[in-house]
Amino acid sequence: MYKTILTNELEQLMKKSDLKIIDVRENEELEEGHIKGVIHMPISSFVKNMHKINKDDHYYVICRTGNRSGEVCQVLSKIGYKVTNVLGGMSIYQGDVEFDMDDVK
């Protein structure tokens, strides 16, 4: 089972600590604006790339609205990853966004 939070809760948590955030939107969506330092793992290639994330870390997963990130959270939580789905996603995110793809991991 995974946790869920709203984007405003994510914004508050980001002020307190450095979070590991996975953005599962596709490349063209990410170019429209993203949270600085996100780990970009598009849902279209997520399964073949999920070995790149550490099972010991906690991840906050975001997409445009929370649907795709919820799907990813469901998969990851079933195999032992600690994840939280960010409901509302980037569509209602009010924090700072970046457009430069150089800061994407």
Tokens of 88: 């509302």
- How confident is the model over 41-63, as a mean pLDDT? 95
The answer to whether residue 58 is domain-embedded is yes
Q: Is the pTM of this model over 0.85?
A: yes
Number of domains observed in the structure of the chain: 1
Range(s) of the domain holding residue 35: 3-95
89-20-50 Cα angle (round to 5): 90
Given 10, 22, 41, 63, which residue is catalytic? Answer: 63
pLDDT of residue 103: 73
| Residue at 103 is within a domain | no
CATH code (residue 75)? 3.40.250.10
Q: Is residue 77 part of a domain?
A: yes
Whether 94 has a pLDDT exceeding 80, the answer reads yes
CA distance to 32, 58, 73, per residue, from 82 (Å): 28, 5, 9
Is 63 among the catalytic positions?
yes
Render pLDDT for 55-81 as a digit per residue (tens, 0 to 9).
999 999 999 999 999 999 999 999 999
The reply to whether 100 falls in a domain is no
Q: Are the C-beta atoms of 7 and 92 separated by less than 8 Å?
A: yes
Indicate whether 34 belongs to any domain.
yes
Output the CA torsion sign for 10, 15, 19, 24: positive
